[in-house]
């Protein structure tokens, strides 16, 4: 895969932080024989299993480092478990396997003639506690892991077994942090996080070629979606009913373009970012102008206490649902056939342990959209719940949306709609 293809994949996947290449694999039974939690009572299996692991690691060495003699090497070992709260991660992968691979590469590379072989040392307190994160994306740049003979090795545990690989590229998290936190206009309380903005844009599936592709956010707020759309190479447009947000968004886009060293002419900035009520946005464009529309129309006001279910239901019906209906109607007019609308809708937790959400699917179908299922689990095996480790619970679902469950009061539900292409008329046979 070429560097350009990898870059396009990064754009396509949106909020992905790291892309790696898998090189080898050991099945789960063999690997856990080599690194059980209880080593003392499994010595025979440990011995035979680790010989297999040794041979696999040697294959990885020759795949990644074809020339070893008189060279200097730096290895950063990153472990990705099935779940970070899985006891096996703390009691075996961190306690035994990490030390094992560190020692292996330090010893084996020197035996093969390396001048130097050192490894990244994690904080000892993190190792002892078992709370060990893999190498962060910014470490990829800090330790120059993109240079020859300097590499981040990946160990990815799944229910099938352990995958061995290396990191090819990462998102520049420091740059994205600067673009988010250093921008001149900030409204963090009412701003969609950058990772969600990038995820929504990736749902449009407009990559690999984004040149001349136009995307639009009709509730642009402080411009987060537009900023990251510009970063990814799209031609961006945005509007909001609040002129203060329009002024702030223009400042933020100008700031982002300076960071990217890709300036936007002031005339284009003024034309592409404008004030408008959602009901009137179609007046600013020709029909079917956009390759994608991305937005978070309404982030509900946050209250200290969970709201009353009856009052919140009345509020949604009178104030929120009409705005989403207008939003989808306008999007249908402005989207090219076959193109997509990606957006966020709120799920509100109410008193009495209830949740209220919007009837997005039924409204979308009445307008003419087709709903796309964002996550299908049909290809995954149904897993039963391990009473000692609920992390492995997985159930198949037919829900067409996905949601972020990190908030205690308001959840974000993600939707993806497509405007169908017109059906071709059947030609009559003579």
- Other Cβ atoms closer than 10 A to 54: 14
pLDDT at 396: 46
Q: Which CATH number fits domain 175-418: 2.30.30.230, 1.10.760.10, 3.40.50.150, 3.40.50.720?
A: 3.40.50.150
pLDDT at 385: 43
pLDDT at 218: 97
Question: What is the chain's pLDDT, residue by residue, as a tens digit (430 residues)?
Answer: 665 666 666 656 666 778 899 999 999 999 999 999 998 888 899 999 999 999 999 999 999 999 999 999 999 999 999 988 899 999 999 999 999 999 999 999 999 999 999 999 999 998 988 888 888 887 888 899 999 999 999 999 998 999 999 999 887 666 777 777 888 888 766 678 888 888 899 899 886 677 789 999 999 999 999 998 988 888 999 999 999 999 999 999 999 888 888 888 899 999 999 999 999 999 999 999 999 999 999 766 666 788 888 998 999 999 999 999 999 999 999 999 999 999 999 888 888 788 888 999 999 999 999 999 876 555 444 444 444 444 444 444 555 656 565 555 678 889 999 999 988 766 555 5
The CA angle 39-40-44, to the nearest 5 degrees, is 75
Query: What residues have CB less than 8 Å from 387, skipping those under 6 apart?
Result: none
Query: What residues have CB less than 8 Å from 26, skipping those under 6 apart?
Result: 34, 52, 53, 56, 161, 162, 164
pLDDT at 412: 86
Are the C-beta atoms of 348 and 409 separated by less than 8 Å? yes
Beta strand extents in 283-430 (DSSP E only) = 290-295, 335-350, 354-356, 370-371, 402-404, 410-418
- Residue 22 pairs in a beta bridge with 165
Domain map (residue ranges) of the chain: 18-170, 175-418
């Amino acid at each position: 895969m070429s560097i350009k293809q990898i870059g396009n994949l990064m754009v396509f996947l949106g909020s992905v932080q790291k892309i790696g290449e898998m090189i080898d694999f050991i099945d789960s039974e063999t690997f856990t024989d080599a690194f059980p939690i209880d080593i003392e009572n499994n010595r025979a299996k440990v011995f035979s299993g680790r010989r297999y692991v040794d041979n696999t690691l040697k294959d990885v060495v020759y795949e990644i480092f074809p020339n070893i003699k008189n060279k200097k090497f730096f290895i950063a070992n990153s472990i990705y478990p099935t779940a970070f709260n899985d006891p096996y991660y703390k009691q075996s992968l961190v306690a035994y396997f990490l030390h094992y691979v560190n020692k292996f590469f330090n010893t084996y590379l020197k035996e093969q003639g390396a001048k130097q072989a050192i490894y990244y040392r994690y904080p000892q307190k993190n190792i002892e506690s078992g709370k060990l994160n893999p190498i962060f994306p910014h470490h990829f740049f800090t330790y120059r892991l993109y240079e020859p003979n300097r590499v981040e090795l990946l160990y990815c545990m799944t229910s099938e077994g352990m995958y061995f690989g290396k990191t090819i590229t990462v998102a520049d998290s420091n740059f994205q942090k600067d673009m988010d936190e250093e921008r001149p206009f900030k409204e963090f309380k009412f701003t969609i996080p950058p990772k969600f903005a990038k995820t929504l844009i990736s749902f449009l599936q407009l990559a690999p070629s984004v040149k001349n592709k136009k995307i639009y956010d009709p509730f642009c707020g402080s411009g987060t979606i537009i900023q990251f759309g510009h970063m990814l190479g799209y031609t961006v447009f945005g509007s909001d009913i609040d002129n203060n947000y329009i002024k702030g968004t223009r400042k933020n886009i100008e700031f982002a373009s300076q960071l990217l060293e890709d300036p936007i002419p002031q005339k284009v900035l003024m034309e592409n970012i404008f004030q408008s009520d959602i009901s009137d946005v179609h007046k600013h464009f020709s029909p079917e102008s956009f390759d994608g529309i991305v937005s978070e129309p309404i982030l509900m006001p946050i209250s200290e206490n969970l709201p009353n279910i009856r009052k919140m239901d009345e509020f949604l019906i009178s104030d929120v649902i009409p705005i989403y209906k207008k939003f989808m109607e306008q999007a249908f007019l402005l989207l090219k056939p076959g193109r997509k609308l990606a957006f966020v809708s709120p799920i509100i937790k109410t008193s009495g342990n209830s949740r209220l959400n919007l009837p997005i699917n039924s409204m979308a179908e009445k307008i003419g959209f087709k709903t796309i299922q964002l996550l299908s689990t049909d290809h995954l095996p149904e897993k039963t719940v391990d009473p000692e480790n609920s992390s492995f619970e997985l159930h198949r679902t037919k829900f067409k949306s996905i949601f972020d469950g990190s908030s205690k009061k308001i959840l974000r539900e993600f939707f993806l709609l497509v405007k169908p292409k017109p059906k071709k008329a059947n030609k009559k046979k003579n």
